[in-house]
Amino acid sequence: MSQEGYEPFVELQQIFIDNQRQFNIKCEDLMRRTKSFYQKLAQAHGELSENPFNANLNLYLSIEEEARLVLSVAQELEFQRDKILNSLNMLKESSKTKLNKSGA
pLDDT for res 93: 86
pLDDT at 2 exceeding the cut of 70: no
102 — pLDDT class (breaks 50, 70, 90): low
pTM to 2 decimal places: 0.76
Packing angle between helix 63-94 and helix 8-50, nearest 10 degrees? 150
Q: What is the pLDDT of residues 74-83, one digit of tens each?
A: 999 999 999 9
> pLDDT for 9-61, tens place per residue?
899 899 989 999 999 999 999 999 999 999 999 999 999 999 999 999 998 88
Distance of CA 1 to the CA centre of its chain: 36
Contact of 84 with 23, CB cutoff 8 Å? yes
Q: Yes or no: say if 78 and 26 are a contact pair by the CB < 8 Å rule.
A: no
Give the other-Cβ count within 10 Å of 84's Cβ: 15
